[in-house]
Structure 1
Amino acid sequence: MRKYLIVSLLLAACFMGCSQDGQSAITEPPEVQIPKTDIEIISSAEWIIKEVSDEVVWKYFHFDKLFSSKQSVTVIEISAVPNVVSADIQYVESGFLKTSDAAVNTGAIAAINGSFFNTTNGGSTVFLKKDGNVINETRSGFDSHRENGGFGINSLGEVSINEKPVSGWEDVNVETLLVSGPLLMKNGEDIVRGINKFNDNRHPRTAIGITADKRVLAVVVDGRASQAHGVSIAELATIMKALGCEDALNLDGGGSSTAWVKNYGVVNYPTDNKKFDHEGERGVATVLTFLQNK
């Protein structure tokens, strides 16, 4: 009896290991999940979107695993520049100006902080020209990689991101120009950047970019918080590329990084109060404002 039981078990095992046509069954290996690239993560994000006007959209997303870290990203997308929305630069030559105050005082629909400034006395430390008048030259000894790009506005109100000419900023043919850096992208190509702490360490960052279809993207990445780790310059460039920019420029970051939207106020998480809220705005020297044309 025991002999028959063993034979039966063997036959059953053989039957279970064979297909109906007598061939051995082949178990398919599980499908391998290929991790998304950082660009794919950004491109596929389900952004929270607020339509501020027909030409201005505010987007926000909190990433749990972007660059293997937590990231809080605000995008203000402006179309129809300069026909319906015009760009401008607000500034103070000494003292400090909050991004929110500059926006409210000019009746702006959106605004972000501008470029580098003297944190003791105020005023720009990089080249600034407004309406054809040079307000400030780049301070002597200033890091060259932080002033190799400029956000320009010509006499027609058209905006551009410019690479520093060998002959100097005075030769850029625009009426208004705010210099900053590093330049992230030009004509769709990454700009070679040096290895240094400013570029490589993660911080809150602000950037301005222009897409192939001439949309202007004002981007703020939060940082210095457990909810938002901040990004390096290379990671910031990846974000701008994923958002479709052809040209992009890093602006002042750290505690200066601020995004403001009409009817909402400060919409990112500025860090000057060391809290992850909307109250930690820092006074700066220059502000990029966007105004709805009447």
Structure 2
Amino acid sequence: MFKQFICVTAFLALFSSSFAQQADSVVFVNAHWSKKKVSKRTHLLTHHFNEKNLFAANQNISYLEVKNRGEKPFIAFGFDPRVLKETRTFADENNAFAAINGTFFDIKNGGSVDYLRVNGQTVNENQLGKGGNRALHQRAAIVIDHNKLQIKKWDGSTDWEKNLGESNVMLSGPLLIINNQKETLDTVAFNKLRHPRTAIGIKPNGNLLFLTVDGRNENSDGMSLFELSKIMSWLGCTSAINLDGGGSTTLWVRGQNENGVVNYPSDNKKWDHNGQRKVANVILLKTSPKQ
């Protein structure tokens, strides 16, 4: 009898979890997103799930979708090897019309802790852990070459990133989806707990998504990486990667709000657009490579 009870309980738990996931996907897919054109081939989409109806929580999501056709924006990395700056500052310095925060960095000393190469020149090397082990955010990369952005997975070799042929390489992670296959995520606290998140996704047609999820506020709880992976999949991405999140999570678009910040950065612990954290690097969208 006890074994039967355990089996029934396990079945009900599995059924309840499956039902909840299906309900979440329906809520997400049927959401009425606010959509605005911000540049050629580029739209800004935002939605506030404010009835605790996405993963049983409030969630505020913003993303840019860049269409892969015609005269699309120029994609580049903005960076400083030592000095930390706000995402909007990097955008202004590089005459970009939009920017999203990049990969992980040294808060005390500045500079990326993940390998960064720009225009063929190495800017920062990996800062490896004890025993030379890679962090979870050093096992995938965003690469840009001839204005094409791709996501690549670490092949296990020591000098993998240095052997990549693209002229622009930014390591980050964890990897969420690659070639339409969801990655198996470790059950470490960083992956399981809810935080503000930043991600980049690629659709089958080559469209790019630059996405932020706000968090650490009653208006938006933030997401685990398991939840983030789901929404990137629901948005149609066949490849997706996590970037630095937490207080770093910032999506900036010229002309939006009072300072261009679209989302609600959490570093000032307020629900406004003024809580940007200074970061080491960003991903930029520009109307011209010569700007």
The TM-score range, normalised by the shorter chain, is 0.7 to 0.9
Cα deviation per residue 1:192-229 (whole Å; 9 max; x = unaligned)? 11110100000000001111011110000000000000
Q: How does 1:212-291 map to 2 (within 5 A)?
A: 212-264=204-256, 265-291=260-286
Residue 166 of structure 1 is matched in structure 2 by: 156
- Residue among 59, 70, 73 paired with 2:45: 59
Q: How does 1:128-139 map to 2 (within 5 A)?
A: 128-139=116-127
3-state secondary structure, aligned to 1:37 = helix
Cα distance in 2, alignment partners of residues 267 and 90 from structure 1: 19
3-state secondary structure, aligned to 2:96 = coil
Cα distance in 2, alignment partners of residues 62 and 94 from structure 1: 36
Residue 86 of structure 1 is matched in structure 2 by: 74
TM-score normalised per structure 2: 0.86
Structure 2 unaligned segments of length 5 or more: list them: 1-18
Could you tell me whether the CA contact under 8 Å between 2:75 and 2:147 is conserved in 1?
yes
Residue 195 of structure 1 is matched in structure 2 by: 187
Residue 13 of structure 2 is matched in structure 1 by: none
- Residue among 145, 158, 162 paired with 2:136: 145
Alignment-mate amino acid for residue 54 of structure 1: K
Residue 204 of structure 1 is matched in structure 2 by: 196
Cα distance in 1, alignment partners of residues 229 and 222 from structure 2: 13
Cα distance in 2, alignment partners of residues 257 and 81 from structure 1: 28
- Residue among 28, 31, 43 paired with 1:45: 31
Could you tell me how far 1:81 is from its partner in structure 2?
6.9
- Residue among 48, 73, 81 paired with 2:61: 73
Runs of 4+ in 1 over 3 A off after TM superposition: 80-83
Residue 110 of structure 2 is matched in structure 1 by: 122
Cα distance in 2, alignment partners of residues 247 and 101 from structure 1: 29
Percent identity, aligned pairs only, is 36
Residue 98 of structure 2 is matched in structure 1 by: 110
Q: How many correspondences in the alignment?
A: 260
Cα deviation per residue 1:45-82 (whole Å; 9 max; x = unaligned)? 10011111231101110113101110000011112379
Could you tell me whether the CA contact under 8 Å between 1:88 and 1:289 is conserved in 2?
yes
- Residue among 177, 181, 197 paired with 1:185: 177
C-alpha RMSD over aligned residues: 1.6
Find the structure with the greater CA-based Rg.
1
Cα distance in 2, alignment partners of residues 180 and 226 from structure 1: 28
Alignment-mate amino acid for residue 118 of structure 1: D
Cα distance in 2, alignment partners of residues 270 and 111 from structure 1: 14
Structure 1 unaligned segments of length 5 or more: list them: 1-33
